[in-house]
Amino acid sequence: MLSRLLLILALIAQLTAAFSQATDRYTIIPRPAQLEPRAGDFVVSQSTTITVPFAQTDLKAIVDTFAYHINRSGGLNLSVRNVNKSALISRDAGPNSIQFLSSRDTTLGAEGYRIDVTDKLVTVEAVSSKGFFYAVQTLYQLLPRAVLNSTHPIPNTNLNSWTVPACRIQDRPRYTYRGMNLDVSRHFFSVAYIKKYLDLMALHKFNNFHWHLTDDQGWRIEIKKYPKLTQVGSQRRETIVGHYDDYDPQVFDGKPYGGFYTQDEIREVVRYAATKYINVVPEIEMPGHALAALAAYPELGCTAVGLDSRPYQVATKWGVFDDVFCPTEATFTFLQNVLTEVISLFPGKYIHIGGDECPKTAWRKSEFCQQLIKREGLKNEHGLQSYFINRIDKFVTSKGRRIIGWDEILEGNGPSIRLSPNATVMSWRGTKGGLEAARQRHDVIMTPGQFCYLDHYQGNPAQEPMAFGGLLPLPLVYSYNPTPPDLLPAEASHILGVQGNLWTEYIDTPDQADYMIWPRAAALAEVAWTPLIQKNYDDFARRLPTHFSRLAALNVNFSRTFYDAVPSAKPTTDGKLDITLSMGKQPTDGSASEIRYTLDSSIPSGESPRYEKPFVLDKSVTVRIATFDNGKPLSQLAKVQKEYIVSKATGKSYTLLSAPTSGRPDKKYSLTDGTSSGMGGYEVDGVVSFVGDIDAVLDLGQPQLVKSVRVGFLKYTAKNMCLPKQVEISVSDDGKTFNSVLIAKTNAAENGKRAIVRLPFDFAATTARYIRIIARNIGQVPAGLRNPGKQAQLAIDEFEVN
């Protein structure tokens, strides 16, 4: 029995290894609906022929492009040959052939396809040119990654590496709408980059490009009838530096910024997208996010100037502004004329009209708007927005098109004003709006911020490039299911698909855009394409490293946060720090990488110490971490680093005699845990805040010599967190009677960039067990800052005693 058991275990091990080896041959993203692995390979050689019916011109164009990539990257000279045989009689293709055959199998759908690979023949079948196009994207991912690199041909001597693993694939998408958005209003991107963006979308089987062309910070599309939209509206005089609240007062770069697309460039992009089977959805924002248009044509506002009594200006900072389009007949004429030109440029059925984040302040103050509300029998300004959207909806519908709007377009509807049935809702404020729209039988595109906003941080904000805020790691993107199970089938049928959004307030270069998009958009591609039952993050993570090599071949500056190691610290009983380094969410087989680290501020290399087990720090250092595979770096070098503070206070208990705020409470003695706070994003992790003074007593455990105290204070005056006006240090042996050793004045009115300011307080050496620290609150935010006169707070992140 024992021998049989051992034999069974050995067979299971062999089968597991064989399956792992087999599945490693198929690293396709998004994962196909059905894939049957087979033994063997089809070898692409100089004798390989590619056959296609030339009469099918769209298919011929797809195959010509496919052959071009193989020939250019592989140094081959494969020919494309004409066949006019039907799928029923084309099985007699010669040896070593790749044949493209039209199928009559309607179960494949318009975008589905079938690929059959043996050692002698590759057969590609589809019902339509869309299906063939997506089949070719899959073939690119079955071939070596170099097939995507058209700038570095491989010598003919390497032809033996050009293989396609044998398999059978039958595939079709889960959703009909698979979208990616790019905001070019906050920052402008060239036509060349737009084409690269479309190339990458196509490789991942996205089929809708949502082009955000207008906003408060810039109007980016030429409109012939209104030349000032680009003469004035496409230019802003300067741009805010950093996050909205990073500096107090705010800082601007003083550099004019602008750019727009001519109508010829728009047509060029639309034509190029069509070759990738991508529809372009233009967005013209209304009635809010209109400052760029108002700067060009101020008569479209409710007054001749903005609410701040100054002429309208293209916005130089981010956010939502009270000045919006006024719903006059002149405004509707303007917007209809704009949309007429837009419709002539974009042949797709969808026109996105925005509809989000429209403050009602200007409308409340406008006598015209108040009279219009009464005349139309509207309930309030929300009803006025519904009136506005419905007029635009009717106009777009009259032109044979359909509007898309953000989920706010549902607001304010009533018995007399209803959104037309063919209006599509894009749900961004969570999922509630989209699900409600589906229940009202409106088509819906799901793009909730918590899953689909790629301008959010993807790793530790303190170690990532500047982003909008929030945290959207790769596994969270992958976990999203756009169609919850509680929707009825008739309601679920209105969920058209999903879209990833890249808003560019803090993204001003193509490299940074790439970094924010990839690989999270690859995860979203699988959400949009792959059947829910086939989704598996561990399997996706297994395929991702190979996919990274494809992105590298395409010169994509993708994020390597996937490989980041995560440091954590735990105080020891003797006042030191126990440091643990762990990998993030990667394949469960543990094959991804090794961690190396440095403690001397140098950048980790393949020669740096390899992390084997937790190690102890007995002094303050910055730990730098990187992941490697056989000495080759996987993560971004020097990106992951963490400052740790070791002092006589490390791991010691303390008593807070003044209560922290509920929003930033103390968590398990976080002020002596040895871990410094991070400064990324809008929030600051690990700080404890107080409305009044700070009064804390540290217990060092036993009497010992002390001569300095250092406290990390958060300076974030835009959020009313100021430095203290005075700090008092006193010491005690019994914790009851304290003797003052220092009273120090500080610069409570200090402005500038937000930061953790570690203030040192030195005094004559003395022996003590207890140290009392009192930090005096300045009371009110000083004049000259963002919020003068508001209640000031104090916030701290770590006590240090030496």
User: Domain check: are 620 and 658 in the same one?
Assistant: no
User: Domain check: are 612 and 748 in the same one?
Assistant: no
Q: What are 86's two structure tokens?
A: 């039907």
Is residue 128 a part of any domain in this protein? yes
CA quadruple 598, 600, 603, 607: dihedral sign: negative
Report the C-alpha gap between 630 and 646 in whole angstroms. 33
Single pTM value for the model: 0.93
Told to judge if 666 belongs to the known catalytic residues of this protein, a careful annotator would answer: no
The C-alpha torsion from 138 through 142 and 148 to 150, rounded to 10°, is: -120
pLDDT over 50 (residue 156): no
Range of the domain at 138: 25-171
Report the C-alpha gap between 293 and 527 in whole angstroms. 36
Report the C-alpha gap between 364 and 61 in whole angstroms. 56
Predicted confidence at residue 93, as pLDDT, reads 59
| CA-wise closest residue to 474 among 564, 550, 567, 562 | 562
Report the C-alpha gap between 621 and 508 in whole angstroms. 34
pLDDT averaged over the chain? Answer: 91
Could you say which of 528, 550, 572 is where a domain stops?
A: 550
Region 194-212: mean pLDDT is 98
User: Domain check: are 792 and 676 in the same one?
Assistant: yes
Predicted confidence at residue 585, as pLDDT, reads 60
CATH number of the domain residue 131 falls in: 3.30.379.10
Q: With beta carbons less than 8 A apart as the criterion, state whether 651 and 673 touch.
A: yes
Could you say which of 501, 528, 550 is where a domain stops?
A: 550
User: Domain check: are 524 and 632 in the same one?
Assistant: no
Count of CB atoms situated within 10 Å of the CB of 95:
10
Predicted confidence at residue 590, as pLDDT, reads 46
Told to judge if 511 belongs to the known catalytic residues of this protein, a careful annotator would answer: no
User: Domain check: are 354 and 474 in the same one?
Assistant: yes
Is residue 531 a part of any domain in this protein? yes
Q: With beta carbons less than 8 A apart as the criterion, state whether 526 and 477 touch.
A: no
User: Domain check: are 144 and 183 in the same one?
Assistant: no
340, 466, 517, 594 from 454: Cα distances, Å: 31, 12, 6, 28
Q: With beta carbons less than 8 A apart as the criterion, state whether 542 and 586 touch.
A: no
Report the C-alpha gap between 32 and 463 in whole angstroms. 35
Q: What is the 3-state secondary structure (H, E, C) of 144-164?
A: CHHHHCCCCCCCHHHHHHCEE
Is residue 2 a part of any domain in this protein? no
Q: With beta carbons less than 8 A apart as the criterion, state whether 565 and 635 touch.
A: yes
Beta bridge pairs of residue 167: 37, 117
Which tens digit of pLDDT belongs to each residue from 698-721? 999 999 999 999 999 999 999 999
CA angle 386, 387, 388 (to 5 degrees): 90
Could you say which of 138, 171, 204 is where a domain stops?
A: 171
Q: With beta carbons less than 8 A apart as the criterion, state whether 437 and 387 touch.
A: no
Q: With beta carbons less than 8 A apart as the criterion, state whether 798 and 676 touch.
A: yes
| CA-wise closest residue to 232 among 301, 298, 296 | 296
Which tens digit of pLDDT belongs to each residue from 62-106? 999 999 999 988 888 888 999 875 444 445 456 789 999 999 999
Q: With beta carbons less than 8 A apart as the criterion, state whether 593 and 636 touch.
A: no
Report the C-alpha gap between 440 and 494 in whole angstroms. 9
Catalytic residue among 111, 215, 455, 514: 215
The pair phi, psi for residue 56, each rounded to 5°, is -90, 90
CATH number of the domain residue 779 falls in: 2.60.120.1190
Catalytic residue among 187, 289, 456, 547: 289
| CA-wise closest residue to 220 among 232, 211, 230 | 230
User: Domain check: are 585 and 730 in the same one?
Assistant: no
| CA-wise closest residue to 82 among 49, 61, 53, 115 | 53
Cis peptide before 519 (omega within 30 of 0): yes
Is residue 13 a part of any domain in this protein? no
User: Domain check: are 531 and 496 in the same one?
Assistant: yes
Q: If you ran DSSP here, which 8-state letter would residue 357 be given? A: S
Report the C-alpha gap between 492 and 490 in whole angstroms. 6
Q: What are 401's two structure tokens?
A: 């098109």
Region 504-515: mean pLDDT is 97
* 3-class DSSP state of 464: coil
Q: What is the 3-state secondary structure (H, E, C) of 757-781?
A: EEEEEEEEEEEEEEEEEEEECCCEC
Report the C-alpha gap between 292 and 212 in whole angstroms. 14
Q: With beta carbons less than 8 A apart as the criterion, state whether 549 and 145 touch.
A: yes
| Helix, strand, coil abundance in the chain, percent, nearest 5 | 30, 30, 45
Q: With beta carbons less than 8 A apart as the criterion, state whether 186 and 108 touch.
A: no
Enclosing H/E stretch for 368 = helix 367-375
Predicted confidence at residue 8, as pLDDT, reads 42
Is residue 351 a part of any domain in this protein? yes
Cis peptide before 282 (omega within 30 of 0): no
Told to judge if 187 belongs to the known catalytic residues of this protein, a careful annotator would answer: no
Beta bridge pairs of residue 100: 124
User: Domain check: are 129 and 243 in the same one?
Assistant: no
Contacts of 676 (CB under 8 A, 6+ apart): 642, 643, 644, 645, 686, 712, 756, 797, 798
Region 235-249: mean pLDDT is 94
| CA-wise closest residue to 426 among 475, 355, 365 | 355
Q: With beta carbons less than 8 A apart as the criterion, state whether 499 and 426 touch.
A: yes
Predicted confidence at residue 592, as pLDDT, reads 53
Which tens digit of pLDDT belongs to each residue from 299-330? 999 998 988 888 999 999 999 999 999 999 99
CA quadruple 657, 663, 664, 667: dihedral sign: positive
| CA-wise closest residue to 726 among 740, 699, 746, 712 | 746
Q: Which residue has the tokens 């009533």?
A: 414
The pair phi, psi for residue 785, each rounded to 5°, is -105, 180
Q: With beta carbons less than 8 A apart as the criterion, state whether 224 and 218 touch.
A: no
Enclosing H/E stretch for 697 = strand 694-715
User: Domain check: are 287 and 222 in the same one?
Assistant: yes
Beta bridge pairs of residue 728: 743, 774
Q: What percent of the chain has pLDDT over 90?
A: 80
The number of distinct structural domains making up the chain is 4
User: Domain check: are 738 and 657 in the same one?
Assistant: yes
Is residue 8 a part of any domain in this protein? no
| CA-wise closest residue to 130 among 29, 278, 270, 30 | 278
Catalytic residue among 58, 199, 268, 357: 357
Which tens digit of pLDDT belongs to each residue from 354-409? 999 999 999 999 999 999 999 999 999 999 999 999 999 999 999 999 999 999 99
Region 473-498: mean pLDDT is 95
| CA-wise closest residue to 754 among 713, 795, 714 | 714
pLDDT over 50 (residue 17): no
Is residue 75 a part of any domain in this protein? yes
Region 504-524: mean pLDDT is 98
The pair phi, psi for residue 720, each rounded to 5°, is 70, 20
At residue 487, what is the residue type? L
User: Domain check: are 157 and 201 in the same one?
Assistant: no
Is residue 1 a part of any domain in this protein? no
Q: With beta carbons less than 8 A apart as the criterion, state whether 689 and 664 touch.
A: yes
Lowest mean pLDDT among 146-155, 360-369, 447-456: 146-155
